[in-house]
Amino acid sequence: MKKLLIIGSLNLDMTVNVDHMPAVGETIISDRMHLVPGGKGANQACAAGCLRADVAMLGAVGEDTYADIQMASLQKAGVDVSRIIRRQDASTGVAFITVNSEGDNSIVVVSGANATLSCEDIDTHIDLLKEADVIMFQLEIPIETVLYGAKMGKKFGKTVILDPAPVPKDFPEELYRYVDVIKPNETELQMLTGIADIEEHLPEAADWLRKKGVKHVLVTLGEKGVYLEAEGEAACRIPALQVETVDTTAAGDSFTAAFAVMLAQGKSMKESAVFANYVSALVVTRKGAQSSIPSLEEVEDFIRQTEQMK
């Protein structure tokens, strides 16, 4: 089995449900809060583990209860957490998530230990990069660490996948050269390329990224589905699945992880994206981050049920 390595963030998500997003200066009441392990890196690792991938996580947490909750969740999913760094001088990252009645969310992240993950940490654990077949990054850790890690991954001939979220103000163009697959959503693609009307100019936006050095572009478009422009394959649109949305938290992370898992199994870009589309559709029907991620058996059942209804 090929190995996946996730280099990225680990947070504890504090989620509140509200009827509507608060306006500036408005105070609203929520009747419940959920504490759920999250962070884009940890979510992707958890999803890959739930899909039975051989996956390891490299990141940083504090010496606190939040870290214990996070580690337990990843271990339950089958993720190798032995290289997660525990910092005594930093707290575990925290995300404050507000989810409205339509299932849409807004998120504020306090980076904590995530901001301490360094190029030196990559060097210390360089054996993980050498052993991995696919290496995945997001941008909730320092951008210079991502750049260095991707460069090393490419040096060792690995498949590098980048989820460019959140998009930093100064995105290093050098990073594109080390990325095999980039997976932005519609807003992130607009921020990266500067193209205003993404829906009308998806091919142009994807070509912009490929001219920068990226081999394959995979764009998630929410209810408008998925757009894929891959080297050696015809560009295609994959329609969204019709489900009742409860909470979109971790849907994008689960999509990226599922795509990587299938790619590592030798599936084509399109086959991998179609499978990932099913996984993310199932995730949005559930509440929370890692608590919403399905097992492989649940995904397979969902695919069978969906196909039978066609």
The model's pLDDT over 83-106, given as tens digits with 9 standing for 90+, comes to 999 999 999 999 888 888 887 878
CA-to-CA distance for 99 and 77, rounded, in angstroms? 25
Confirm if 57 and 79 have CB atoms less than 8 A apart.
Answer: yes
Nearest in space to 152 (alpha carbons), one of 189, 127, 116, 181? 127
> Which residues are designated catalytic?
253
199 SS3 class: coil
CA distance 14 to 108: 10
Q: Using the CB atoms, write b or e for 45-76: b if 16+ within 10 Å.
A: bbbbbbbebbbbbbbbbbebebbebbbebbee
Q: Which ranges of the chain would DSSP assign to H, the alpha helix?
A: 40-50, 65-76, 119-124, 126-131, 143-155, 186-193, 202-211, 251-264, 269-283, 296-309
The pair phi, psi for residue 218, each rounded to 5°, is -125, 115
Tokens of 109: 């992240």
pLDDT at 1: 78
Contact call for residues 164 and 172 (beta carbons, < 8 A): no
pTM above 0.85, yes or no: yes
- Full pLDDT tens readout for the chain, 310 residues: 799 999 999 999 888 989 999 999 999 999 888 888 989 999 999 999 999 999 999 999 999 999 999 999 999 999 999 999 999 999 999 988 888 888 787 888 899 999 999 999 999 999 999 999 999 999 999 999 999 999 999 999 999 999 999 999 999 999 999 999 999 999 999 999 999 888 889 999 999 999 999 999 999 998 899 999 998 888 999 999 989 888 887 899 999 999 999 999 999 999 999 999 999 999 999 887 788 899 999 999 999 998 888 7
